[in-house]
Amino acid sequence: MMSKDQGGGGEGSSSATHPPPLPQLSRYESQKRRDWNTFGQYLRNQRPPVALAQCNYGHVLEFMRYLDQFGKTKVHMQGCMFFGHPEPAGPCTCPLRQAWGSLDALVGSLRAAYEENGGLQEINPFANGAIRVYLREVRDSQAKARGIPYRKKKKKKMKKLSGTVNSTFPSIQHSAV
């Protein structure tokens, strides 16, 4: 019996039988695809199953609440002795939740995936105002529970170049005009 290596023939070259490899997806694209598939599976597992065309913001809110059971962020409850402390001194029985930043990123990728998969921008359930309100409430409650107020980061403004430039960049010379 001849092996392929010995030229047993009969089969074409590997390039003729296999399609060329697909381009490598970016980390973002891979995560977006996983998120989209997970959401689709969630809709199919509903009783009765929900078709993507019937999906609305309520399903998105339910999905985010469902994901909380897989969260890794400790969110202290109002009565917990660690409520409002950024670094608690010990363990407690408060629940683990999805972090606000994770939910925000998830909604962003699902919003893009929805439109890439044929959904209309005008009826995108991930772009609904109720989703933004929910995310804001999650952000605020998590910040309060940790004792760290959330402050939106301000965009850094470019400072005008002044006479102090020479001390920072000694090789730059200013000429009097």
Residue 172: inside a domain, yes or no? Answer: no
Residue 10: inside a domain, yes or no? Answer: no
Residue 99: inside a domain, yes or no? Answer: yes
Residue 93: inside a domain, yes or no? Answer: yes
Confidence of residue 165 (pLDDT cuts 50, 70, 90): very low
Residue 175: inside a domain, yes or no? Answer: no
- CA dist., res. 134 & res. 128, Å (int): 10
Mean pLDDT value across residues 128-136: 96
More confident call, 116 vs 150: 116
Token pair belonging to 142? 């998590």
Residue 63: inside a domain, yes or no? Answer: yes
**Cα 1 from chain centroid?**
54
Amino acid letter, 142: Q
Q: Specify the pairing of strand 96-97 against strand 73-74.
A: antiparallel
- CA dist., res. 73 & res. 88, Å (int): 13
Q: pLDDT at position 23, please?
A: 75
Residue 167: inside a domain, yes or no? Answer: no
Mean pLDDT value across residues 149-162: 59
Residue 138 pLDDT greater than 60, yes or no: yes
Which distant-in-sequence residues (6+ apart) come within 8 Å of 166 by Cβ?
172, 173, 174
Q: Which of 28-32, 78-82, 163-167 has the highest mean pLDDT?
A: 28-32
Confidence of residue 167 (pLDDT cuts 50, 70, 90): very low
pLDDT digits (tens, 9 = 90+) for 13-44: 455 677 777 678 899 999 999 999 999 999 99
Q: Which residues pair with 96 in a beta bridge?
A: 74
Count of domains in the chain?
A: 1
Residue 145: inside a domain, yes or no? Answer: yes
Domain of residue 63: give its range.
26-150
